[in-house]
Each structure stands twice: as structure tokens, then as C-alpha cells.
Amino acid sequence: MEISPELYQDMQDAAAPKSRSYVNIPMAFLAGGLICVLGECILNLLTYWGVEQEAAGSWTSVILVFLSALLTGLGWYERIAKHAGAGTLVPITGFANGVTSSAIEARTEGWILGVGSKIFTIAGPVILYGTAASVVYGIMLMLFGMFL
């Protein structure tokens, strides 16, 4: 074959259909926005019922995570996500979907090496690097505190 990888890349670019961003981006905006509004509703409802502000924030996360796990188990989350894209990926419900779908999928390999070790296949990096970044921030706070 006398085709160079560079030329082939150009051929591919010409042959491949583009993502339909004019649909995808508005859909992500809509779905993501609605999930955030749902979060805001839950938060306001909880504070209205007298739950203290910070606790209400944590409860909101727990409830959203629960809803996401339920929809994932029923196989609905994936069906919505097909259209919503980043709109269902970026909210905390997307994180819960990553955890739940990995857990359900690994069930056939048992509780320990299946569910136990594979539950964080997708969400693990988020926790690891989020925590690591926060520790770096903590170290900087400590150092600034010592020298300033």
C-alpha cells in the first residue's frame, strides 16, 4: 500500500460524518440544566422543611445519587444519556451512573472480585484525582500559613 498515514488521515476526515453538535450541545444544555434545577428544588424543599443549609446540600447529593442509581438499574439512564450526552455525564448523577453501571455489570463475576473490585472502574479516577488535587491545595494552604 503506497498510502501514507498522513494522507489516510485526510481521507478519513473526509469520509467520517461529523458529530451533530447543533443537536448535541443544546440537548446537553437542556438535560444538564434540568438536573441542576431538580437539585435546586430538592435543596429548597429540604431547607423549607427545616433542614440546615449544609446538611441539605449533602442530602441533595444523596437523593440525586439514589435517583441516578435507580434509573441506571432500570436501564433508563443510558437511554436518556444517549440523547443528553454531557448533560447527564457532568452532573453528580453521571458519577453515580458510572458507579452503578460498573457494579451491575460485574455482578456475574461475584461480589468480591466482580462488584467489589470493579465498582470504581469508571468513577475511581474522579475520586483519586479530585482528592489528590485537594491535598495539593491543602499543602499549599499549610505552606502559605507557615511562611506568611
Partner 1 sequence: MAQALARGVLRLTQPVYAAAFAAVAGKKEGEGPMGQCFDRVEPDSHFGQESWEQAESRMQQETIYRAMEKAGAQPEQIDLILAGDLINQCTSSTYSLRPFAIPFLGLFGACSTMAEGIVTGSLLLEAGAGNRAVAATSSHFSTAERQFRYPLSYGGQRPPTAQWTCTASGAVVLDKETTDAPRIQGVCIGKITDLGVCDANNMGAAMAPAAADTLTRWFRGTGTPPEAYDAIVTGDLGEIGGKLLLDLMMKQGYEIHSRYHDCGVLMFDGDRQDTHAGGSGCGCGGSLLCGHFLPKMQSGGIRRMLFLATGALMSPMLVQQGESIPGIAHLVEFVCGEE
Partner 2 sequence: MLEYIWAFLIGGGICAVGQVLIDYTKLTPARILTGYVVAGVLISALGLYQPLIDFAGGGATVPLTGFGHLLAEGIRKSVEEKGWLGVFSGGLTASAAGITAAMLFGLAASAIFKPKDK
Are the CB atoms for 72 and 66 separated by under 8 Å? Answer: no
- Which does residue 143 touch among partner 1, partner 2, none (CB within 5 to 8 A, set by kind)? none
The three cell numbers locating residue 78? 443510558
Contact range with partner 1 by CB under 8 A, out of 36-44, 48-56, 100-108, 136-144: 100-108
Using CB distances below 5 to 8 A depending on partner kind, what does residue 10 bind out of partner 2, partner 1, none?
none
CA distance 88 to 124: 18
| Cβ partners under 8 Å of residue 91, min gap 6 | 32, 35, 36, 39, 64
Asked if 43 contacts 56 with a C-beta cutoff of 8 angstroms, the reply is yes
When CB distances are held under 5 to 8 angstroms depending on the partner's kind, the choice from partner 2, partner 1, none that residue 8 binds is partner 1
Q: Look at residues 103, 95, 91, 75 and name the one whose alpha carbon lies nearest to residue 42.
A: 91
117 sits near partner 2 (criterion: CB under 8 A): no
Residues 46-105 that bind partner 2 (CB under 8 A): 57-62, 64-66, 69-70, 72-75, 78, 85-87, 89-96, 98-100, 102-105
Rg (CA), the chain: 21
CA–CA gap between residue 46 and residue 120 (Å, rounded): 30
Among 16, 48, 145, 148, binds partner 2 (CB under 8 A): 145
Residues that bind partner 1 (CB under 8 A): 1-3, 5, 8-9, 11-12, 15-20, 24, 72-73, 75, 77-78, 80-82, 84-85, 88-89, 94, 97-98, 100-102, 104-106, 108, 121-122
